[in-house]
């Protein structure tokens, strides 16, 4: 059986780490370098860092800061936020970033993504699907700016996997983000049955039981953790954290 990965997903606002609830109300967590050093000691599988303000503020990635982070990370390191050009991808890979997470670029300039995949390989690009249930209708993908994407969730996943050729999907539930109420198992299972590339479930993890359910019941390839990775417990203080893998192994 392929290794089921558990991946801390850290949100960065340009100054420090933050945590959101349903993509709103960011709370300060701490310094990313300190967090990365702790995750090194905990021997995490991978690490994802998303600059949540880069696209909103129309700025490029902070390459100097990313270089510092990548040099400290002893695990595969993925970065997303503000990446717009082929040269941006090249610079990130040169700095030691192994995977680049794309979101708004999918809508703005998908040809850049195709070029990156052709040059660096599918494994170097992760497409993030932010999705939520609108007031009326079924769960739908949304751009990072909050605009509903015209394709439905399954068609959009197929487009990313087959037309753009990305190597992995990160399925991020806006409704579940920061709630500690568990992943969106239904949507995760549907996507996994619809594409032939790895899927990372993200948004809502609150316990090792949630991890086991998404990794073995839906058969997700990986589970990203946010609140569980930076708080001791729900409603409690900051504690850079990682679950005991022995408690997550399928019995």
Residue 120, by phi and psi: left (phi above 0), alpha (psi -120 to 50) or beta?
alpha
**Average pLDDT value over all residues in the chain:** 93
What pLDDT sits at residue 84? 97
| Residue 13 bears catalytic tag | no
Which one of 88, 130, 184, 210 is the catalytic residue? 130
pTM: 0.94
DSSP secondary structure, 114-162, as one string: HHHHHHH-GGGEEEEEEEE--SSSS-EEE-TTSPBPSS-HHHHHHIIII
Per-residue model confidence as pLDDT tens digits over 102-118: 999 999 999 999 999 99
**pLDDT of 197 above 70:** yes
What's the pLDDT at 243? 85
pLDDT for residue 1: 45
Smallest CA-to-CA distance from 223 within 179, 178, 174, 172 is with 172
Q: What is the pLDDT averaged over residues 133-146?
A: 84
Angle at alpha carbon of residue 41, lines to 7 and 169, rounded to 5°: 10
Q: State residue 251's pLDDT score.
A: 59
The CATH number that applies at residue 198 is 3.20.20.70
pLDDT band at 215 (very low <50, low <70, confident <90, very high): very high
Residue 211 domain boundaries:
5-247
**How many structural domains are present in the chain?**
1
**pLDDT at residue number 169:** 98
What pLDDT is stored for residue 125 in this prediction? 98
């Amino acid at each position: 059986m392929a290794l089921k990965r558990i991946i801390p997903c850290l949100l960065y606002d340009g100054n420090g780490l933050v945590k959101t609830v349903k993509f709103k109300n960011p709370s300060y967590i701490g310094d990313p370098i300190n967090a990365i050093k702790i995750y090194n000691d905990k021997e995490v599988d991978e690490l994802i860092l998303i600059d949540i303000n880069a696209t909103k503020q129309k700025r490029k990635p902070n390459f100097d800061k990313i270089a510092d982070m990548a040099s400290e990370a002893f695990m595969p390191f993925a970065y997303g936020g503000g990446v717009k050009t082929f040269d941006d991808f090249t610079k990130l890979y040169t700095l030691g970033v192994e995977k680049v997470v794309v979101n708004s670029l999918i809508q703005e300039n998908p040809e850049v993504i195709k070029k990156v995949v052709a040059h660096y390989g599918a494994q170097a690009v992760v497409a993030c699907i932010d999705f939520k249930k609108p007031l009326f209708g079924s769960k739908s993908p949304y751009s990072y700016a909050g605009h509903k994407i015209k394709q439905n969730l399954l068609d959009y996943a197929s487009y990313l996997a087959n037309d753009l050729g990305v190597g992995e999907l990160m399925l991020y539930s806006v409704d579940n983000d920061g709630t500690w109420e568990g992943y969106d198992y239904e949507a995760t299972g549907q996507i996994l049955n619809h594409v032939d590339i790895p899927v990372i479930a993200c948004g809502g993890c609150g316990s090792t039981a949630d991890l086991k359910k998404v990794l073995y019941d839906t058969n997700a390839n990986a589970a990203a953790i946010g609140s569980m990775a930076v708080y001791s417990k729900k409603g409690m203080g900051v504690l850079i954290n990682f679950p005991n893998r022995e408690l997550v192994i399928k019995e």
